[in-house]
Structure 1
Amino acid sequence: MSSSLPPVDVVCAVIRRGDLILLAKRPPGKRLAGMWEFPGGKVDPGETPDQALHREIMEELGCELTILQAGPAALHEYEWGSIRLFPFLCELKSESSEPCPHEHSELIWVFQKKLSRPDMAPADEPVIRWVATLA
């Protein structure tokens, strides 16, 4: 289904700790409820993607990140509209709090090589492929 509306710009954080990557479970009552995703959210008007990432991660997880690398943007079309996803490889700042699920039902750390799973949000598939290319 093609949408006449422009895609919504969205950011996501691939938060790495050694060989582990943080995933967040979408809560009941939201689109894609029960699916796992890289945490993030919409870019507000006047924000750059990296500004949006820092704001969204503080809102959703209550932690601070260092951006290590920006990944390639990926377009994904859902039944309700399109998103343009800007992924960022990140790590927690040394002085940051541990991530806490303020807007998700659960958080898990997963081995980088185990990211491809059937219960991942479909828009995150290109991000998983990008992460697989990273050392």
Structure 2
Amino acid sequence: MKTIPVTCAIIHFGNKVLAVQRSETMSLPLKWEFAGGKIEPGESEEECIKREIFEELNIHINLKRKLTAVIHQYPNFKINLIPFIGEYVSGELKLKEHADHVLLDKDELYTLDWAEADLPILKEFTEL
């Protein structure tokens, strides 16, 4: 099975962190995740995450650092999830694909029902 390269971003809005909920029509319906998406051919990881965040959320971010990538096998697909920590710069947050979003303190993030691939990223982030 081919591994799909996907980026995601842990986005700070001041001292809060953004999490988004997948819609009922997406794979892994209603699971929470850090927003992002698939890397297009010829695109860098950094270009991908900035593009995906703008396309999905209508906002611009600055990237601060990269965290450890996670390879995760779901029943029907396998991803290489490449996480970044970023901060909100501009734009009005508008969900274009997701069902919901929350802005939480770092220690509140574990209250959500996360997509499995995001869990190791959440763990690394909360231990920083």
Note whether the superposition's TM-score is higher than 0.5: yes
How far apart are residue 106 of structure 1 and its match?
Answer: 1.0
Structure number with greater Rg is 1
Alignment of 1:48-67 (within 5 A): 48-67=44-63
Alignment of 1:1-135 (within 5 A): 5-93=1-89, 96-117=90-111, 119-134=113-128
Give yes or no for contact 2:32–2:112 (8 Å, CA) kept in 1.
no
Give the letter for the 1:117 counterpart.
Answer: T
Can you give the 5+ residue segments of structure 1 that lack an aligned partner in the other structure?
none
How far apart are residue 118 of structure 1 and its match?
Answer: 5.3
TM-score (norm 1): 0.90
Give the aligned length.
128
Query: Separation in 2 of the partners of 1:118 and 1:64?
Result: 25
User: More displaced, 17-26 or 54-63?
Assistant: 17-26
Alignment RMSD: 1.1
Give the letter for the 2:124 counterpart.
Answer: W
Query: Separation in 1 of the partners of 2:35 and 2:47?
Result: 14
TM-score (norm 2): 0.94
Can you give the 5+ residue segments of structure 2 that lack an aligned partner in the other structure?
none
User: 2:110 aligns to what SS in structure 1?
Assistant: coil
Identity rate of aligned residues, in percent?
Answer: 33
Give the ranges of 4+ consecutive aligned residues of structure 1 lying more than 6 Å apart after TM superposition.
none
